Chain A
């Protein structure tokens, strides 16, 4: 049991833990980290236990349970043993929490990042944000479907280069 003790003096700082979590890839979109995605809401020591607060993206996202396992695995690999994952529903996750670095990585990967302020609000005309093609940069693009390969994406196509692409829709 002595090994399991976390010494307050030598335990990793919260900043260090954020940096480690920034190396854990999102299971669905592995070019961005969980920190980039904005789903890690808090990291805090409670005595010897590390509490990590995670907020789900979409309530039915099948990646959620994998994400929890990945967080535990990454932190255990760094020698942490007592970890408590807390789920936080409110405030609900928003794409506005995706980091600037994450947005650039999404674009480089071929996924157009979300245009904030264009989330659906029920009945009403579909807003068509100006979305640049992640392949050729053209702004002459159109939506094929508001739903795509995962809950967080919509299906778009570029009128100029003709390539279909995923658009990370705003929520």
Chain B
């Protein structure tokens, strides 16, 4: 049970960490000042949530590894994030579509985790859900405005949606970790998030005049530590300082 929860906390924390890092890459480069600020704040929330999840992972593991140790001193094979969140920013449409695909999943997953039988998990979920509600409000609103915007913004959003769609399926693939935590009431019941995600996404894409992609194949591996080459570049950037100057302090 504690092995499964360690694994699960790593997955939640790594999703927040890698997406938070990706989103922070926009800082100072966004298409509008307000978006720059919104993206930086979203990244900040996600990094904050990372500290909570990885802090819990370190506590469960009991080997004295802190959230920082887990973030900065693991190699790509030890990361457990979804492949979706490590996809590069590419352009604003890709960044936004990646965000909304994840936000809807994150929102419903945290909603389920609020009822976790483990008080530490439910406390983190309760806290994070308040912040993620703001992330989802923004990403859903912008998806509608840009999907149902100009021909150019519509085309860019549809192209990003088609490009990222193969990474959606991994969010709903469930393995023995998910099953064990569902059994003990610590994690969401199996299969509970997907219908909520499907319903929200269908309504959202309709409103945004975007087409539900007709792509069935699923890219997977992130939850088991098998990543795309993109993660290595993220880690090289993010971990450089602690690798080059071990123990360096702010």
Query: What is the interface of chain A, defined by CB distance below 8 A to chain B?
Result: 56, 58-62, 89-94, 119-124, 126, 144-149, 151, 155, 169, 171
Contact = CB atoms under 8 A, between A and B. Distances in A.
Contact of B119 (A61, A90, A119): A90
Given A121-B133, A123-B140, 8 more contacts: A60-B51, A62-B44, A90-B123, A90-B127, A119-B133, A144-B34, A147-B42, A148-B41
Given A90-B122, A122-B107, A171 B130 contact: yes
Secondary structure at chain B's binding surface: helix, strand, loop or mixed? helix
A92 B126 contact: yes
A120 B37 CA distance: 18
Contact of B131 (A59, A94, A144, A145): A59
Contact of A120 (B44, B47, B133): B133
A36 B70 CA distance: 35
B126 A147 contact: no
Contact of B34 (A61, A121, A145): A145
Interface residues of B, number: 35
28 contacts: A56-B127, A58-B131, A59-B51, A59-B128, A60-B48, A60-B51, A61-B48, A62-B44, A91-B126, A92-B127, A119-B133, A120-B134, A120-B136, A120-B137, A122-B107, A123-B104, A123-B140, A126-B137, A126-B141, A144-B34, A146-B134, A146-B138, A147-B34, A147-B42, A147-B134, A148-B37, A151-B41, A171-B130
A59 B48 contact: yes
Nearest to B53: A59
Contact of B48 (A58, A91, A126): A58
B49 interface: yes
Nearest to A127: B137
A155 B37 CA distance: 10
B224 interface: no
